């Protein structure tokens, strides 16, 4: 048991989950056909705001992380107003530029401690370990308190990841999700159909930034130390690889991509100096074999069918509205009585 | 067609899993340990932007291990080298791996101060010693009781270099140039400012650049305008060499006080004649009249074909420090005994001179101020 | 000081320009960003260095050889990483990742073969500083500036006047129409990538020479700046890449000279964000290029 639960493996699992959250943040804007590379920028905003709030204002970690996400979303509103009207690679590079500008600002600010970074950020696992002692769980199931702390952290991270995935799946099958798909397929046609393209693009951009901000906050409170170099150009490329490698058209693609790409460098560790060569070659081969990533919509349908999960039939919106109206009537009636 | 592609993707996945299995096996087989052999991990950077420095550390440490293991009477050291790529996450993962999976008795590294800030707390939490050989930034040993370093902090080295050269050269104005995305160099800037101010030297310009920059003409042109008597440069040796060359090319012939990284044969090699006049404070003096230093240089050149630098020397000393601690601890597996033994070392003499840890687990050793003359390090004189 | 800094900026800018032209050529024809450009740039620098140190040829021959090697690498790049993706109708995320893979591959092989140490050209290889009183310029700077400008002029003639140049322009307007007109798109694409890589290689030698530093990771940072120039000038526009390169070089240097050097790296991208507010398609870009996600 303790073999499997050793901190090394647990740490990798934590990084995998955070990477998955970051991958989904890029996937989210990709689902409206926008390639944004600002994820590292928003991540750093979330990380710094969250870390400063716990360090300097001594707020509880969950609240600090949440505020970090909100601030990242607010920044996205400001940045998004002009940038979401950009197209294709112009948007990609402009958002990449945003990330770079943010990094340089953090490098120069006094409160972020410049290149020295913020250290001693309270760790989620540490806090949870304290609870473990408090509730006398040390040694429970032959698992010591530190491991319990790590395990509980992973459970919390998993819950957050599950919420994010659920949110994506729910949106996918909603009016908003269909608007996203229409815009991705052809934004001019979508506009002609009466979809407010700017609004939906902005929505996706801001939600993506919020998710990235949350991811950043979690990252800061797991690694205990952040500095501007953590959020450089390399990070963006790394994050972008997750959805594209795993499959950029389905949310599970980001999860699978981050799983493989977090694990791969660790698995390839024994190759030492040859590790990156293999890694680079793998990327090229995978793109040649599966240019849309490992998971595609077709493949997901197949998997769903194999698993026996039936896809919900498409319900026309009028029907949904009628049902809701009926429900509302029933409710207001019962309220009157 | 589509099907075969899918199969190929599956095959790809299978290969990855197979590789994982092989890696797992490899890890297990190496964990069979004989009682006389101590497992020590070296976390360093052999790929990525800072690989040039990590390579030296690895060389120095491996040379020391080969010498120790070559002696039949010694404790044997099994050195596991892990690449951290200069990346914090990799450092955290590697630290966890060597502590939890490989169960090493102690760790040397990680190499960069930023990596130590992130991975050091893990070692400390697990009560495993981590000793930095090149982590020179402020606050490293504040991480906890299990964090040591034999890297002379920049606050000591640069401070000594500035004060001594002020005494010898008597300059009145100075300019500072430092890498502002490198935590160690930001520390140097703080130290240099303090030292200059307390010596009553006026700072006429402060310019910054980033690690891996290659074009310094704009900053140097600006500094040239301010006409300082001396220039303090805080950078790793690669950027340092480029800065020196550009300075001399622009006709700026002021002496330069460099940070720790300047003390490297690679710096002289890269900068060529432009290196002359550079001043550095360091515990590592390659031309020191000392048998240990000569032997080390000879063995190193034999093995790797080039001269060792400070990074190699400090890693070499670190391994021998570990050997002494292992002997004193009388155990090759007990982490707590090892820590206490390491802390208690008093009469250690390495290639960087006489060495012991102070109460904060920082090195307490003598810093020598050297100046490069005709491509050689020499004691600083007027 | 103003003139001196202007010279510094123009030298830097000319190097950015040569680098970015390679990126923009590939973008124009293939609609993709070639992330492996920085890797080929680095190999070019090493080839140039070895020509000079081992074979002791003069710098112009070294640049030529580096360009030939670059072209061969370009062909390989196109064959391995781009051609398999062109057969299927894929989004241009795939080539982006594929070329990132190639760049990781090239850089790590170089690291393994040549080691991480910075190498430099022989001392006083191209010596001398010419003093014009108002400003000084080194021979190295003159060569960097000169060769860049000559290469840009040659490329201009090649694109505007020759048959292959016309074919490249035709394919970049519309691959389908061009192939209907009897142009072989595969050939044109290969030639374009080779041409771009040769230019990237040449830029590598020039940068290696100008800053006297050649090492395996040198393509990363400067490749990033190349992206900035690419967008600044407008995707796929050669004039844009040239002008954008000079603008970036000069503004970076001036931000140090008259502002704070610690914000230097933000200047490139801050500039771009501001510019894109005003012209969403870059300085010289056409409205419909690069629009596809």
Query: Is the pLDDT confidence value at B18 over 60?
Result: no
The answer to whether the beta carbons of residues A37 and A236 sit under 8 Å apart is yes
Regarding predicted confidence, which is higher, C41 or B15?
Answer: C41
pLDDT of B60 reads 92
Range of weakest confidence among A89-93, A204-208, C166-170? A89-93
pLDDT band at A107 (very low <50, low <70, confident <90, very high): confident
Indicate yes or no: CB of A116 within 8 angstroms of CB of B187.
yes
Q: In whole angstroms, what is the distance from residue B116 CA to residue B107 CA?
A: 11
Query: Is the pLDDT confidence value at A142 over 80?
Result: no
Regarding predicted confidence, which is higher, B124 or B212?
Answer: B124
Regarding predicted confidence, which is higher, A283 or A143?
Answer: A283
Min Cα distance B206 → chain C (Å) is 9
Is residue A184 included in any domain, yes or no? yes
Query: Is the pLDDT confidence value at B26 over 50?
Result: no
> Domain range holding A181?
7-239
Indicate yes or no: CB of C273 within 8 angstroms of CB of A101.
yes
Which residues of chain B neighbour C11 with C-beta distances below 8 Å? 217
Indicate yes or no: CB of B12 within 8 angstroms of CB of A11.
no
pLDDT band at A45 (very low <50, low <70, confident <90, very high): very high
Q: Return the top range by mean pLDDT from A127-131, A269-273, A299-303, B308-312.
A: B308-312
| Any C CB within 8 A of B273 CB | yes
Which residues of chain B neighbour A225 with C-beta distances below 8 Å? 88, 114, 117-118, 121
Nearest CA in chain B to A225: B118
Question: What distances in angstroms separate CA A280 from CA A7, B87, B374, one per listed residue?
Answer: 28, 18, 44
Query: Is the pLDDT confidence value at C71 over 90?
Result: yes
| Any A CB within 8 A of C77 CB | no
Indicate yes or no: CB of A275 within 8 angstroms of CB of B47.
yes
Indicate yes or no: CB of A83 within 8 angstroms of CB of C101.
no
pLDDT of A292 reads 79
Q: Of the candidates B280, B195, B200, B292, which has an alpha carbon nearest to the alpha carbon of residue B240?
A: B280
The answer to whether the beta carbons of residues A14 and A154 sit under 8 Å apart is yes
Nearest CA in chain B to C140: B249
pLDDT of C291 reads 39
DSSP string, B152-202: PPHHHHHHHHHHHHHHHH--SEEEEEEETT-HHHHHHHHHHHHHHHHTT-E
| Any B CB within 8 A of A296 CB | no
Regarding predicted confidence, which is higher, B14 or C257?
Answer: C257
Nearest CA in chain C to A187: C292
Q: How many structural domains compose chain A?
A: 1
Mutation target to probe the B interface, by most B beta carbons within 10 A, among C261, C263, C266, C268 is C261
Tell the burial category of C287 from Cβ atoms under 10 Å away from its Cβ (0-12, 13-18, 19+): exposed
The answer to whether the beta carbons of residues B85 and B94 sit under 8 Å apart is no
- State mean pLDDT over B243-249: 87
Indicate yes or no: CB of C111 within 8 angstroms of CB of B219.
no
| Any A CB within 8 A of C232 CB | no
The answer to whether the beta carbons of residues C15 and C203 sit under 8 Å apart is yes
Is residue A245 included in any domain, yes or no? no
pLDDT of B71 reads 80
| Any C CB within 8 A of A277 CB | yes
Indicate yes or no: CB of A286 within 8 angstroms of CB of B97.
no
| Any B CB within 8 A of A4 CB | no
Query: Is the pLDDT confidence value at C92 over 80?
Result: no
pLDDT of B17 reads 46
Q: Return the top range by mean pLDDT from A94-103, C42-51, C164-173.
A: C42-51
State the residue for tokens 């990074």.
B311
pLDDT band at C194 (very low <50, low <70, confident <90, very high): very high
Q: What is the mean pLDDT of chain C?
A: 84
- CB contacts < 8 Å between A and B, how many? 104
Tokens of A215: 């991811």
Which residues of chain C neighbour A87 with C-beta distances below 8 Å? 280, 290-293
Is residue A301 included in any domain, yes or no? no
Indicate yes or no: CB of C97 within 8 angstroms of CB of A245.
yes
Share of chain C above pLDDT 90, in %: 19
Residue B159 Ramachandran class (φ > 0 left, ψ -120 to 50 alpha, else beta)? alpha
pLDDT of B4 reads 52
Tokens of A307: 């698993």
Interface residues of B toward A, Cβ cutoff 8 Å, are 5-6, 8-9, 12, 16, 19-20, 22-23, 26-27, 46-47, 81-83, 88-90, 92-93, 96-97, 99-101, 114, 117-118, 121-122, 125-126, 137-139, 180-183, 185-187
Tokens of C228: 């900035």
pLDDT of B64 reads 92
Indicate yes or no: CB of A100 within 8 angstroms of CB of C100.
no
Chains in contact with A via at least 3 Cβ–Cβ pairs below 8 Å: B, C
- State mean pLDDT over C109-130: 79
Q: In whole angstroms, what is the distance from residue B120 CA to residue B129 CA?
A: 9
pLDDT digits (tens, 9 = 90+) for B69-122: 888 777 888 999 988 888 888 888 888 888 888 889 999 989 888 888 888 888
Regarding predicted confidence, which is higher, A184 or B36?
Answer: A184
Q: What is the mean pLDDT of chain A?
A: 82
Is residue A329 included in any domain, yes or no? no
Query: Is the pLDDT confidence value at A145 over 80?
Result: no
Cis bond upstream, residue B110 (ω within 30) = yes
The answer to whether the beta carbons of residues B79 and B59 sit under 8 Å apart is no
* Complex ipTM more than 0.90, yes or no: no
pLDDT of C181 reads 85
| Any C CB within 8 A of B154 CB | no
Is residue A56 included in any domain, yes or no? yes
pLDDT of A131 reads 76
| Any C CB within 8 A of B211 CB | no
Tell the burial category of B324 from Cβ atoms under 10 Å away from its Cβ (0-12, 13-18, 19+): middle
pLDDT of C69 reads 95
Is residue A315 included in any domain, yes or no? no
Min Cα distance C210 → chain B (Å) is 9
HSE toward the beta carbon, residue C227, CA cutoff 13 A = 25
pLDDT of A300 reads 77
Nearest CA in chain C to A89: C290
The answer to whether the beta carbons of residues B55 and B81 sit under 8 Å apart is no
Which residues of chain C neighbour A104 with C-beta distances below 8 Å? 262-263, 265-266
State the residue for tokens 């060769």.
C147
Surface of B (278-317) touching C: CB under 8 A: none
Regarding predicted confidence, which is higher, B11 or B158?
Answer: B158
Surface of C (256-275) touching A: CB under 8 A: 260, 262-263, 265-266, 268-270, 272-273
Is residue A277 included in any domain, yes or no? no
pLDDT of A310 reads 58
Range of weakest confidence among B63-67, C65-69, C180-184? C180-184
Which residues of chain B neighbour A290 with C-beta distances below 8 Å? 5, 9
pLDDT band at C105 (very low <50, low <70, confident <90, very high): very high
Min Cα distance C249 → chain B (Å) is 11
Min Cα distance A104 → chain C (Å) is 6
Which residues of chain B neighbour A224 with C-beta distances below 8 Å? 118, 121
Regarding predicted confidence, which is higher, B96 or C89?
Answer: B96
pLDDT of A319 reads 65
Mutation target to probe the A interface, by most A beta carbons within 10 A, among B19, B30, B85, B181 is B181
Which residues of chain A neighbour B112 with C-beta distances below 8 Å? none
Q: Return the top range by mean pLDDT from B175-184, C37-46, C164-173.
A: C37-46
pLDDT band at C286 (very low <50, low <70, confident <90, very high): low
Indicate yes or no: CB of C235 within 8 angstroms of CB of A90.
yes
Is residue A83 included in any domain, yes or no? yes
Of B47, B88, B114, the CB nearest to A276: B47
Nearest CA in chain B to C141: B217
Indicate yes or no: CB of A225 within 8 angstroms of CB of B139.
no
Indicate yes or no: CB of B218 within 8 angstroms of CB of C253.
yes
pTM of the model: 0.80
Domains and CATH numbers, chain C: 2-289 (1.10.3470)
Q: Return the top range by mean pLDDT from A230-234, B71-75, C37-41, C78-82.
A: C37-41
pLDDT of C145 reads 84
How many other CB atoms are found less than 10 A from the CB of residue B172? 12
pLDDT of C106 reads 92
| Any B CB within 8 A of C256 CB | yes
């Amino acid at each position: 048991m303790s073999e499997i639960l050793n901190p090394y493996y647990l740490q990798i699992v934590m990084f995998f989950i955070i990477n998955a959250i970051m991958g989904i943040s890029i996937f989210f804007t990709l689902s409206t056909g926008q390639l944004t590379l600002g994820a590292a920028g928003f991540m750093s905003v979330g990380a710094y705001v969250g870390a400063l709030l716990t360090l300097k204002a001594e707020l509880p970690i969950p609240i600090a992380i949440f505020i970090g996400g909100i601030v990242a979303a607010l920044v996205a509103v400001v940045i998004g107003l002009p940038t979401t009207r950009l197209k294709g690679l112009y948007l990609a590079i402009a958002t990449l530029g945003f990330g770079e500008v943010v990094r340089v600002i953090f490098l120069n600010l006094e409160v972020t401690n410049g290149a020295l970074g913020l250290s001693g950020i309270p760790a989620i696992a540490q806090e949870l370990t304290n609870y473990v002692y408090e509730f006398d769980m040390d040694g429970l199931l032959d698992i010591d308190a530190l491991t319990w702390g790590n395990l509980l952290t992973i459970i919390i991270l998993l819950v957050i990841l599950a919420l994010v995935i659920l949110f994506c799946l729910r949106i996918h099958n909603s009016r908003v999700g269909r608007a996203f798909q229409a815009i991705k397929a052809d934004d001019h046609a979508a506009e002609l159909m009466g979809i407010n393209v700017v609004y939906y693009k902005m929505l996706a951009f801001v939600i993506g930034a919020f998710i990235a901000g949350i991811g950043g906050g979690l990252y800061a409170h797991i690694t205990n130390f952040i500095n501007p170099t953590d959020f450089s150009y390399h990070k963006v490329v790394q994050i972008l690889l997750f959805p594209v490698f795993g499959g950029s058209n389905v949310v599970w693609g980001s999860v699978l991509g981050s799983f493989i790409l977090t694990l791969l460098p660790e698995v390839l560790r024994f190759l030492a100096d040859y590790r990156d060569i293999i890694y680079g070659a793998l990327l090229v081969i995978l793109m040649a074999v599966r240019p849309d990533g490992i998971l595609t919509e077709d493949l997901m349908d197949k998997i769903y069918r194999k698993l026996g999960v039936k896809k919900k039939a498409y319900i026309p919106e009028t029907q949904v509205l009628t049902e809701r109206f009926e429900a509302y009537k029933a409710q207001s009636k019962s309220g009157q009585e | 067609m589509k099907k075969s592609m899918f199969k190929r993707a599956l095959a790809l996945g299978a290969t990855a899993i197979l590789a994982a299995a092989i890696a797992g096996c490899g890890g297990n087989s190496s964990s069979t340990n004989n009682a006389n052999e101590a497992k020590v991990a070296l976390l360093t950077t052999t790929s990525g932007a800072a690989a040039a420095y990590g390579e030296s550390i690895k060389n120095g440490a491996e040379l020391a291990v080969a010498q120790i293991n070559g002696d039949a009477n010694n404790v044997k050291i099994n050195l596991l080298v892990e690449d951290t790529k200069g990346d914090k996450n990799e450092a955290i993962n590697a630290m966890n791996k060597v502590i939890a999976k490989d169960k090493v008795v102690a760790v040397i590294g990680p190499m960069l101060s930023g990596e130590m800030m992130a991975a050091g707390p893990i070692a400390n939490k697990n009560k495993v010693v981590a000793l930095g050989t090149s982590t020179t930034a402020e606050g490293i040993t504040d991480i906890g009781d299990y964090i040591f370093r034999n890297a002379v902090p920049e606050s000591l080295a640069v401070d000594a270099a500035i004060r001594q050269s002020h005494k010898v050269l008597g300059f009145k104005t100075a300019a500072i140039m430092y890498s502002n995305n490198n935590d160690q160099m930001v520390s140097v800037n703080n130290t240099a400012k303090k030292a200059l101010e307390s010596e009553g030297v006026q700072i006429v310009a402060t310019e910054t650049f980033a690690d891996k920059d290659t074009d310094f003409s704009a900053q140097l042109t600006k500094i040239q305008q301010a006409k300082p008597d001396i220039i303090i440069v805080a950078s790793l040796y690669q950027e340092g060499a480029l800065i020196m060359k550009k300075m001399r090319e622009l006709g700026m012939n002021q002496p330069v006080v460099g940070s720790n990284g300047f003390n490297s044969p690679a710096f002289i090699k890269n900068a060529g004649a432009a290196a002359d006049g550079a001043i550095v404070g360091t515990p590592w003096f390659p031309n020191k009249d000392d048998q240990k230093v000569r032997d080390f240089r000879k063995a190193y050149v034999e093995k790797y074909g080039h001269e060792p630098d400070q990074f190699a020397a400090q890693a070499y000393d670190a391994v021998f420090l570990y050997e002494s601690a292992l002997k004193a601890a009388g155990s090759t597996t007990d982490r707590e005994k090892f820590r206490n033994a390491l802390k208690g070392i008093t009469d250690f003499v390495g290639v960087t001179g006489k060495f012991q840890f102070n109460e904060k687990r920082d090195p307490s050793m003598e810093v020598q101020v050297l100046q490069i003359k005709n491509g050689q390090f020499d004691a600083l004189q007027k | 000081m103003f003139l001196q800094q202007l010279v510094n900026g123009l030298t830097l800018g000319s190097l950015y320009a040569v680098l970015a032209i390679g990126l923009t050529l590939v973008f124009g024809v293939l609609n993709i960003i070639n992330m492996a450009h920085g890797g080929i740039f680095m190999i070019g620098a090493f080839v140039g260095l070895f020509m000079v140190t081992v074979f002791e040829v003069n710098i112009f021959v070294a640049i030529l050889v580096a360009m030939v090697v670059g072209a061969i690498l370009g062909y390989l790049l196109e064959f391995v990483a781009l051609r398999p993706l062109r057969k299927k109708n894929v989004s241009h995320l795939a080539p982006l990742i594929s070329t990132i893979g190639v760049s990781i591959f090239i850089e790590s092989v170089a690291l393994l073969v040549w080691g991480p140490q910075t190498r430099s050209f022989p001392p006083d290889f191209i010596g001398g500083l010419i003093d014009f009183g108002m400003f000084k310029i080194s021979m190295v700077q003159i060569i960097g500036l000169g060769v860049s400008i000559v290469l840009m002029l040659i490329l201009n003639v090649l694109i505007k006047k020759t048959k292959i140049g016309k074919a490249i322009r035709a394919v970049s307007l519309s691959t389908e129409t061009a192939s209907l007109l009897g142009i072989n798109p595969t050939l044109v694409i290969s030639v374009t990538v080779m041409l771009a890589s040769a230019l990237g290689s040449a830029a590598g030698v020039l940068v290696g020479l100008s800053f006297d530093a050649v090492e395996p990771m040198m393509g990363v940072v400067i490749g990033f700046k190349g992206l900035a120039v690419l967008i600044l000038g407008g995707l796929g526009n050669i004039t844009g890449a040239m002008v954008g390169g000079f603008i970036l070089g000069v503004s970076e240097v001036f931000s140090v000279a008259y502002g704070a050097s610690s914000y230097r790296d933000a200047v490139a991208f801050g500039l771009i964000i501001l510019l894109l507010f005003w012209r969403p398609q870059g300085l010289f870009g056409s409205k419909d290029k690069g629009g596809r996600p």
